[in-house]
Amino acid sequence: MVGADKKENKFVSVVVYLHNDRERIAPFFDMALRMFKENFEKYEVICVNDASQDDSVEVLKDYFSGPMSEGKEFLWSGCMINVIHMSYFQGLEASMNAGRDMAIGDFVYEFDDINPDYSPQLIRDVYDKMLSGYDIVSAGRRGRTKLSSGLFYLFYNMTSKSRNRIGPETFRILSRRAINRVMSMGQYIPYRKAVYGNCGLKTYTISYESQGGTKRHKSKTDRRERTSLAMDSFIYFTDVLERMSLAVSSVFLIFTLGVIVYIISSVFSESKPVEGWLSTMGFLSLGFFGVFSLLTFIMKYLSVMLSLIFKHQRYLIEGVEKISQK
């Protein structure tokens, strides 16, 4: 435990994502709040309820506003607790954007997952690492990832325009400068990890060995939302479509050149092809080459422009509730 005279005097915001997490609320906050209470003089907790279908909100209220058990009062005495209720399920990214926008701390912790499968000291470690010259420091599990996630990170990092690489992350801390930089880049933030990696500031990831815990079961809605997000991320932050268009165009260009060579060689050949075949194939191959080249570029930029123009509403909040302690 850090002594009172060694506590950090910076105000810290703790943004926590909740979606059907009733079983994990108490273990997470028992661990996390103790670390924040022991290491920071002032902090707030912002829980974002992404339309939970179970009784996560009731469990959260009972945890914070229920009768104080022995030793529990130490954990959250003087701490501000706010709950953002999303109007409907909007996914991790939109929900955490809502929580981050409400945060007022000098530094903001983002807990995308409340599976406490790491040492509590890691919460302080990311803060100390940030003070050594970084604006965004993340903590991610070391080890094997799902095949789909691994392929996504592989192709994204191969085609990303940023030198910063992304991977699985459990939580992170951001400086106020990083938040201001991200907000200045645009109102619509589709994928925070990619935006953070492309903001131009120094980032760092601390890897840790998972110590177990209880993982959240992802529904079909969760998986669809993450799949859609992955596709959007390729459009926004990588040049994969340009590479695909180049590959397709190259194939048709090679075919076109082959037809031209065949036309020239047939002039000096004794065997003549069917009348009109060469001109037809030459025209088709050249036409497809041009069409596929332009179509891919047009589709990409139309998609980006539509997102930037029409997606002004980043998220919808039903209400904000403050939990008071009894």
Q: What is the CATH number for 81? A: 3.90.550.10
Let me know whether 262 and 122 are in one domain: no
From the list 126, 226, 141, 142, the residue with the least C-alpha distance to 178 is 126
> Do 278 and 266 contact (CB within 8 A), yes or no?
yes
pLDDT band, residue 139 (cuts 50/70/90): very high
Query: Which carries the bigger pLDDT value, residue 114 or residue 260?
Result: 114
Let me know whether 140 and 248 are in one domain: no
Q: Any residues with CB less than 8 A from the CB of 33 and at least 6 apart, and which?
A: 45, 75, 76, 79
Q: What is the pLDDT of residues 41-63, one digit of tens each?
A: 889 999 999 999 999 999 999 88
* Stretch 289-317: mean pLDDT: 62
> Does residue 54 fall inside a structural domain?
yes
> Does residue 232 fall inside a structural domain?
no
Q: Which residues are paired to 108 by β-bridges? A: 13, 174
Let me know whether 102 and 156 are in one domain: yes
pLDDT band, residue 78 (cuts 50/70/90): low
Q: What is the pLDDT of residues 168-227, one digit of tens each?
A: 899 999 999 999 988 887 656 678 888 888 888 899 999 998 877 666 666 677 777 777
Q: What is the pLDDT of residues 237-254, one digit of tens each?
A: 777 766 777 777 777 778
Domain count, the chain: 2
Model confidence, pTM? 0.76
> Does residue 230 fall inside a structural domain?
no
The pLDDT value recorded for residue 27 is 92
Let me know whether 141 and 262 are in one domain: no
Let me know whether 122 and 248 are in one domain: no
Q: What is the pLDDT of residues 11-38, one digit of tens each?
A: 999 999 999 999 999 999 999 999 998 9
Let me know whether 168 and 56 are in one domain: yes
The pLDDT value recorded for residue 173 is 97
Let me know whether 189 and 41 are in one domain: yes
Let me know whether 182 and 294 are in one domain: no
Let me know whether 38 and 171 are in one domain: yes
Let me know whether 166 and 62 are in one domain: yes
Considering only CA atoms, give the Rg of the chain.
26
Residue range(s) defining the domain that contains residue 261? 240-310
> Does 4 have pLDDT greater than 50?
no
Cα distance between residue 211 and residue 106, in whole Å:
30
Let me know whether 79 and 173 are in one domain: yes
